[in-house]
Structure 1
Amino acid sequence: MAWIMLVLAGALEAVWAIALGRSAGFTRPLPTVIFVVALIASMGGLGYALRSIPVGTGYAVWVGIGAALTTVAGMTVLGEPVNLPRVISLLLVVAGVVGLKVFH
């Protein structure tokens, strides 16, 4: 259950990161509310997961999932550039997250 919660918390990290960018410095109410709710839920999920997953592993997986999903959203939805070095770098992040889970 802890790993499922960690993955969900990592996905929520991507949600709050995107909402933060869309909030325009907290001047737009809806993205700001989404940011706050997703941030609280993400931290809560991370905290729950860290009860049974070591902090170094859990935090690295949480950050990796959030970074990877935020990058994918940026490239697919937000118009950020897609090029081979970025895709390879993203795959390396995913490989690192998978490695941390496999070798836990």
Structure 2
Amino acid sequence: LFLDGHSLQVDESSMTGESDHVEVNHSQNPFLFSGTKVADGYGRMLVTSVGMNTTWGEMMSTINRDSNDQQTPLQGRLNKLTSSIGKVGLTVAFLVLLVLLVRYFTGN
């Protein structure tokens, strides 16, 4: 919450996607958000929320919750590929072990 300052402008592009700076003042726009950057001016503020209780924290938890529910097609394909590579690697390692054991016990 904006308390006092002089011509404070912040960059809220990380939250809104807009590249324009937003002026913060007592009457029209008294709120500052976590994740924004001061572009010009100076000011004092009162912190009312931190962490996941901020607007930024709520947005990030929503994004994380949505992304954890289901895999993208690329993630599904990559999971199949890594499983296949792992199976091939284990098979090759087992065959090398068998060949080395046979050579060891036959004396070659």
Q: Do the structures match in fold with TM over 0.5?
A: no
TM-score class normalised by the smaller sequence: under 0.3
Could you say which structure has the larger radius of gyration?
2
- Relative to its length, the structure with more strand (as a share) is 2
Give the TM-score taking structure 2 as reference length.
Answer: 0.27
- Relative to its length, the structure with more helix (as a share) is 1
Q: Which has the higher contact order (CA 8 A, sep 6+)?
A: 1
